[in-house]
Structure 1
Amino acid sequence: MISSYRASFNEHFSEKKYKGFLEELEEGFAGIPFRVAETPVFIPETLKEKLVAAGAEIVKLIQQPDFKQLTEKSIPLNWRVPAENGQPHFLTFDFGICKDEQGNLIPKLIEMQGFPSLYGFQAHLGETYKKAYSLSEQLTPYFDGIDEAAYITLLKEVILGTHQPHEVALMDIDAPNQKTAIDFLVTAQYLGIKILSLSDIKKEGKHLYYEQNGQKIRLKRIYNRLIFDEIGSNTGLFKDSFDPREELDIEWVTHPNWFYRISKYTMPFLKSEFVPETFFLHQLDTIPSDLENYVLKPLFSFAGMGVIIDVKKKDIEEISDPENWILQRKVNYEPVVQAPDGGVKVEIRLMYLWAEGKEPVLCINLARLSRGKMIGVRYNKDFDWVGGTVGLMEK
């Protein structure tokens, strides 16, 4: 999108360079099971300013005194976790890049989460693109004058809190075998924390611990990467470990309730040029006559599961739990990233860190390139110049 960088990158691109980039990205880590795109996204200043403004509008809603009241019904009763704190530690907002009526680039909100994303991997990815392709030192994946050192310092503050690294662990169901395991490994390298599967953690009274070299190490804080939707009804997984819904002497980063509070559930409350019109399905007075311009989304799902793109009136009428669905005006992605054989659509995720008692800070970004009907791996099989990437901006 910054035409000078794009033209130069494409002119000098080769499959050999791309292969070398992937080898450098994976060096010292396990292989990456998801597709990483051939190219970064070069974000122009005008689009960057709109992304920052769009994010600021959403943050303003989240910081309203009545936000918890607005979102109280977002948390499923069977997944409510006690001892919720006053703020999330992470905010991520996904924007599709579109064009307005004047032909200018504009971000449109697709989804949002109060849950961590690839905060370790994206820093590593940005530096590797720059190094492997010999890109300008004037390019950065960071916002607001942040550099890598300042970013990692803030990441430590948010994830470690007041504790020592050995008292903090990154946790997922089966952490080593998650698709995002490389992010876990990079994060552990930056922070010195343990990576634990749910089964690695045991409970005594209200305390949690893990074992290392025959010693019990008490956990004070969990960097939570476990999504309850993945557990589903399989709560037997908690039997030999611990149940997060019990009263525990543990700090959560971030508390699991925020996964639901800041989610698709929040979108109907947002009124902005950067947010497509969104309705709770059970509050819809009449079904729009132009359903081809809408998409139907379940509130409680992730990775695009359950989304109905080509909505029919019958689809809406057959939903038995409309309170758990939203109807959202479609966003028309513009193929603004120029690949050697045509345009590619892009989605940009703004990633914030929010240290306790402070203001949220927009730090870094994640981008995804797509030629398919939707953003995401399952919709982009057999394409090149698609997949996960990062936006680079001029300092």
Structure 2
Amino acid sequence: MDQTFRTAWNQAFTPALYARYTKLLEAEVGPIPYRVAESPLFLPEDLRDDLFRVTRELLEQLAAPAAMARAREAIPPDFDVPRCDDAPGCMTVDFAIVEGEQGRLEGRVVELQAFPSLYGFTIKQAQVFDTLLRELPGIRRGFHCFDQKYDFDSAIALFREAVLAGGDPEEVVLLEIEPDRQKTRTDFVATRALLGIDAVCVTEVIKEGRRLCRTKDGRKVPIKRIYNRVVFDELLQKKPKMAFAFTDDLDVTWCCHPNWYWMWSKFSLPVLEHPWVPKSHLLSELKELPEDLSAYVLKPLFSFAGSGVKIDVTEADLRAIPPAERRHWLLQRKVTYARALKTPEGIGVAAEVRILCLRAPRQRLPEPFMNLVRLSRGKMLGIDYNKGLDWVGSTVALWPKAE
């Protein structure tokens, strides 16, 4: 990590600084129902550039004709939504930060998904850090979280173009199940502030023939574009009462079209060939089990909030999965996270960087343009493995703005 900025932040860090950070952030997005970490991640320029470059390379592999044909097999017939576009509007690639050869920090892909992430919240988070860093002794300069060709203004412009596609914000909705109860509601608040669109529950949508609409301030407002945040696993669990079905042929456009949730996902990891992509196999395609099973992690392809992951895999775990279900499970080689971020007390913290991508209608493929980060001191990332620990949770990787 960038030691100059890390040292300056750690030396200036106090509980009061953290309190000011969270107060400023909550003033933008409301109460945050999850933990935000005490610090940004200061990435060196070479690692930053590698993460964006590798993401672009992987997107090209995913878009190859053979990979696309295979990806379509992942769509369950009961969830095949009409009018799929040629590329997803949203994409995320998660990299574990590891120690590579000669001690150099690198990334290893642990997850990918063509589904929206916390674009709005992270932009607000980076803006708050930028405010603090401009005042911090030993730093006193501006920072951002974007690829080199973007800054705050151009990144927000891409966000707007991808989600709205030139439409009236009132006729574009962020669609979710009980949005006010979601932990991601902070992102919905930020998205409304940045783009002017409302978060709407699936139960509030009205269907009139092939058209959708909603009621706002006593008026019936057409829905012409959907910024889709509905996770199908949650939809199956909660079974909300809806006036439409996702599989209806509707007069709407999507960001991101629901089919991409299945197509560009962990299902596609086995076809990727790159030094930064650990070997993985669909259970249904394995002719024999690896001898070193302890070196692998078992993941469901599609799960709500990352549930179902097994990090200590046994043959009994694999045998317990019915043959008909094995196509829905991935065996992925484990990676060892580098504990490269040091707290003021010298405790090592692991980092996972998610590269966020968006595609405006004019673009062929999603554009990697920003990031978010999760920090962990536990055995795995996630709340259950980091209870009671500090310097863990949500943050963002930053680097100095061009002056």
If the length of structure 1 is used for normalisation, what is the TM-score? 0.96
Superposed, which structure 2 residues align to 1:150-165 within 5 Å? 150-165=154-169
Moved more, 280-289 or 13-22: 280-289
1:382 corresponds to: 388
Pairing 1:355–2:365 present = no
Q: State the 1:138 CA deviation.
A: 4.4
Hey, which bits of structure 1, 4+ residues long, moved more than 4 A? Answer: none
Equivalent residue in structure 2 for 1:259, among 253, 258, 261: 261
Q: State the 1:201 CA deviation.
A: 1.1
Structure 1 spans left out of the alignment, 5+ residues: none
Q: How far apart, in 1, do the equivalents of 2:30 and 2:119 lie? A: 18
1:275 corresponds to: 277
Superposed, which structure 2 residues align to 1:226-265 within 5 Å? 226-232=230-236, 234-235=238-239, 237-239=240-242, 241-265=243-267
The residue identity in structure 1 corresponding to 2:353 is I
In structure 2, the CA distance between the partners of 1:233 and 1:338, relative to structure 1 (3 Å rule), is closer
The residue identity in structure 2 corresponding to 1:357 is R
Q: How far apart, in 2, do the equivalents of 1:228 and 1:297 lie? A: 17
Q: How far apart, in 2, do the equivalents of 1:164 and 1:192 lie? A: 9
In structure 2, the CA distance between the partners of 1:61 and 1:214, relative to structure 1 (3 Å rule), is same
1:294 corresponds to: 296
Asked whether the equivalents of residues 81 and 257 of structure 1 are also in contact (C-alpha less than 8 Å), the reply is yes
Superposed, which structure 2 residues align to 1:3-152 within 5 Å? 3-133=3-133, 134=135, 136-152=140-156
Asked whether the equivalents of residues 171 and 195 of structure 1 are also in contact (C-alpha less than 8 Å), the reply is yes
1:176 corresponds to: 180
Q: State the 1:165 CA deviation.
A: 0.8
Q: How far apart, in 2, do the equivalents of 1:74 and 1:357 lie? A: 27
Structure 2 spans left out of the alignment, 5+ residues: none
Secondary structure of the 1:232 match is: helix
Asked whether the equivalents of residues 24 and 132 of structure 1 are also in contact (C-alpha less than 8 Å), the reply is no
Aligned sequence identity (%): 38
Q: State the 1:76 CA deviation.
A: 1.7
Asked whether the equivalents of residues 140 and 393 of structure 1 are also in contact (C-alpha less than 8 Å), the reply is yes
Q: How far apart, in 2, do the equivalents of 1:138 and 1:128 lie? A: 11
1:203 corresponds to: 207
Q: State the 1:233 CA deviation.
A: 5.2
Q: State the 1:213 CA deviation.
A: 2.2
| Per-residue CA distance 1:83-118 (angstroms, 9 max, x = gap) | 111110111100000011321111000100101100
2:350 corresponds to: 345
Moved more, 16-25 or 71-80: 71-80
Asked whether the equivalents of residues 279 and 327 of structure 1 are also in contact (C-alpha less than 8 Å), the reply is yes
Q: How far apart, in 1, do the equivalents of 2:306 and 2:340 lie? A: 22
| Per-residue CA distance 1:278-335 (angstroms, 9 max, x = gap) | 1111111211111111001111214321111001111112211211111110010010
- Alignment root-mean-square deviation, CA: 1.4
Asked whether the equivalents of residues 351 and 373 of structure 2 are also in contact (C-alpha less than 8 Å), the reply is yes
Secondary structure of the 1:357 match is: coil
Pairing 1:323–2:359 present = no
| Per-residue CA distance 1:347-382 (angstroms, 9 max, x = gap) | 000011111231432211000100111111222111
If the length of structure 2 is used for normalisation, what is the TM-score? 0.94
The residue identity in structure 2 corresponding to 1:88 is P
Equivalent residue in structure 1 for 2:397, among 378, 391, 395: 391
1:190 corresponds to: 194
Asked whether the equivalents of residues 21 and 129 of structure 2 are also in contact (C-alpha less than 8 Å), the reply is yes
Moved more, 95-104 or 62-71: 62-71
Q: State the 1:383 CA deviation.
A: 0.4
| Per-residue CA distance 1:39-73 (angstroms, 9 max, x = gap) | 00000012112212321221111222333311112
